[in-house]
Structure 1
């Protein structure tokens, strides 16, 4: 008798209803994953992503959850594993931006950004690790930002949260690397999404020859890091910015 087909691997994508997260969800579905799309409030957009995946023959489920809420994250992982019996890939993409100059940033605004952007990935990583450890296989891909290295004015909270997620990536990689789990990070530069389209049209290129990226420029790398072929990559942060940081630091370029 022919061997039974292996069950599809299962991926969870937070912040998966729009922009980079939606592109990642679609790409993983194209690669054969069962995808769980997680969003906080953009339910209509999330349903549209799930419907698009299903229309293309893929498998997807929508979940509403606040990644900064410990109980909500635990419930999310319970639902995913109850439905599919496994959880192979976690993509921590959910994030908020609330730019404000540090001198006038309230404690509440600071904590809100870090709660979603840094505590959220901590909670989701912690929740999925028992499942991945039992499987002896797992992939965690955290989404950072070039703002961790070259923040703009008002980005103190956002930059701190993204610098934190890169450090979290390295620390967790040390802890679970011998257990078959790979933890890596992707740091996009300027990416054109629904939220940034107007700004991208107004600014155009940055005078350095680089273009605005597309969500698909990010999703391809994330999809690779989610596969077996990425087994020798661990604890790394990959900058995906069209060479913008290199162009800015080249000879004869003035720093801003």
Structure 2
């Protein structure tokens, strides 16, 4: 399936209205893809992203759906594929954070995080696989976090969900790799978004000198993984953190 095909490729980006998801939507649209953004509640922000993409000459649409709801996910994917006749790229970016020390974490709060961050990617991936298998080409790109390897206090649910999505990436890659579908994962470090700006300003750079990342630091790699050039990359998790994990490992060894 050459990138020069007449019809543009179609991408579905969950959590696409703000932060990393919005940056990914902008970048994929700039690369010529028709981008369908999904959000659960931030519809005003999503509409702004669509308008910005269209003003730049791209094509985008906004959908409201809860990625943790099976019926809503099935309806979403069915609607997009019927409208476009194809679906080439899925970016599983939607996630929630609800930090609580494990000893005081209620089961419903644990399940809320897992439903959005892990069950959501399972549901969306399962829903898009039939059309990708028919095409013989597809890209599923999951967004994880450095918290899967270096969680902070209170991140038991979040870290577990992100560790799960990395394992899901590898397992699905094994299942569909021979069918022309590539499944990979991007694990950002600390990224400055609307939600983290105040914390970033207060904390500044770490003692190791690493800066806070920008959403665009993540979107470039996601865009590459969505292309034909990434065809030899499968089942991998890429850490994008400005070297933070390496710096911390080095400082521990030096003590």
TM-score category (smaller protein):
over 0.9
Deviation at 1:252? 5.1
3-state SS of the aligned residue for 1:11?
A: strand
Q: TM-score, normalised by structure 1?
A: 0.97
1:107 positional shift:
0.2
Report the Cα offset of residue 225 of structure 1. 0.1
2:145 paired with 1:131 = no
3-state DSSP of counterpart to 1:212: coil
Quote the residue 1:165 is aligned against.
165
Q: How far apart, CA to CA, are the structure 1 residues paired with 2:242 and 2:170?
A: 24
The runs of 5 or more residues in structure 2 that have no matched partner are none
Question: Residues 79-228 of structure 1: matches in 2 within 5 Å?
Answer: 79-228=79-228
- 1:81 and 1:55 map into 2 onto residues whose CA distance is 24
Tell me the SS of whatever aligns to 1:27. Answer: helix
Helix, strand or coil at the partner of 2:195: coil
Quote the offset at 1:254 in angstroms.
7.7
How many aligned positions are there?
252
Once the two structures are superposed, what CA deviation does each residue of 1:80-105 show, in whole Å capped at 9, x if it has no partner? 01111000000000000000000000
Give distance in 1, aligned partners of 2:63 and 2:157. 27
**SS of alignment partner, residue 166 of structure 1:** helix
Pick closer, same or farther for the CA change 1:163–1:130 going to 2, 3 Å: same
* C-alpha distance in structure 2 between counterparts of 1:155 and 1:191, whole Å: 17
Describe the shift of the 1:134–1:108 C-alpha distance in structure 2 as closer, same or farther (beyond 3 A): same
TM-aligned CA deviation for residue 185 of structure 1:
0.0
Runs of 4+ in 1 over 6 A off after TM superposition: none
- Residue 5 of structure 1 deviates from its aligned partner by 5.9
Q: Structure 1 5/184 Cα, relative in aligned 2: closer, same or farther at 3 Å?
A: closer
Distance 1:227 1:72 in 2: 28
Match of 1:29 in 2: 29
Matches of 1:88 and 1:78, distance apart in 2: 14
RMSD (Å) for aligned C-alpha atoms: 1.2
Three-state SS of the structure 2 residue aligned to 1:186 is strand
The alpha carbon displacement at 1:6 in A equals 1.0
Within 1, Cα distance between the matches of 2:211 and 2:251? 20
How high is the TM-score relative to the length of structure 2?
0.97
Matching residue of 1:19: 19
SS in structure 2 opposite 1:235? Answer: coil
Unaligned segments of structure 1, at least 5 residues: none
SS for the counterpart of 1:90 is strand
The 1-side partners of 2:5 and 2:249 are apart by 50
1:39 and 2:35 aligned: no
CA displacement 1:124-175 (0-9 Å, x = unmatched): 0000000000000000000000000000000000000000000000000000
